[in-house]
Amino acid sequence: MTSRQFFNRLLDLLIVLFGVSIIVFLIIRLIPGDAVAIMLGANTEITDVGLAELKARLGLDQPMIVQYWHWIGNAVTGDFGESIWTGRPVISEIAANMWPTIELTLLATLLGAGLSVPIGCFMAQTRGSASEVTVRMFAIAGLTIPSFWLGIVSIFLVAKFLPGTSMLGYVPFTEDPIENLQRMILPVIALALPMLANLSRLIRSAMLDALNQDYIRTAKAKGAGRRRIVYKHALRNALIPFITSVGVSTGYLLGGSIVIEQVFAIPGLGRLVLGAIAERNYPLVQATVLVMTTAFVLVNFIVDLLYAIIDPRIRTGAHGAAT
28 vs 269: CA distance, rounded Å = 19
Closer residue to other proteins (CB): 52 or 298: 298
Q: How far is the CB of 218 from other proteins (least distance, A)?
A: 26
Closer residue to other proteins (CB): 19 or 114: 19
Q: Which residues contact 118 (CB under 8 A, 6 or more apart)?
A: none
Q: How far is the CB of 146 from other proteins (least distance, A)?
A: 5
Closer residue to other proteins (CB): 38 or 185: 38
Half-sphere exposure in the Cβ direction for 280 (13 Å, CA) = 12
| Cα separations in angstroms, 160 against 43, 168, 188 | 40, 15, 20
Q: How far apart are the first and last CA of the chain?
A: 11
Taking the CB of residue 88, how many other CB atoms lie within 10 A of it? 12
Taking the CB of residue 104, how many other CB atoms lie within 10 A of it? 27
Closer residue to other proteins (CB): 29 or 232: 29
Closer residue to other proteins (CB): 4 or 136: 136
Closer residue to other proteins (CB): 30 or 178: 30
Q: How far is the CB of 70 from other proteins (least distance, A)?
A: 21
The contact set with other proteins (CB under 8 A) reads: 12, 15-17, 19-20, 23-24, 27, 30-32, 129, 133, 136-137, 139-141, 143-146, 148-149, 152-153, 155-156, 159-160, 194, 198, 201-202, 205, 245, 248-252, 254-256, 258-259, 262-263, 273-274, 277, 282, 285, 289, 292-293, 296-297
Nearest Cα neighbor of 24 from 76, 84, 63 is 76
Q: How far is the CB of 248 from other proteins (least distance, A)?
A: 6
Taking the CB of residue 264, how many other CB atoms lie within 10 A of it? 27
Q: How far is the CB of 225 from other proteins (least distance, A)?
A: 28
SS3 (DSSP) at 82: strand
Closer residue to other proteins (CB): 20 or 72: 20
Closer residue to other proteins (CB): 140 or 309: 140
Half-sphere exposure in the Cβ direction for 9 (13 Å, CA) = 20
Closer residue to other proteins (CB): 80 or 252: 252
Rg (CA), the chain: 24
Q: How far is the CB of 89 from other proteins (least distance, A)?
A: 21
Return the C-alpha torsion angle 272, 276, 281, 287, nearest 10.
40
Q: Which residues contact 6 (CB under 8 A, 6 or more apart)?
A: 305
Q: How far is the CB of 316 from other proteins (least distance, A)?
A: 26
DSSP annotation of 165 reads: -
Q: How far is the CB of 220 from other proteins (least distance, A)?
A: 25
Q: How far is the CB of 294 from other proteins (least distance, A)?
A: 9
SS3 (DSSP) at 89: strand
Per-position DSSP letters for 179-226, written without gaps between them = HHHHHHHHHHHHHHHHHHHHHHHHHHHHHHHHHTSHHHHHHHHTT--H
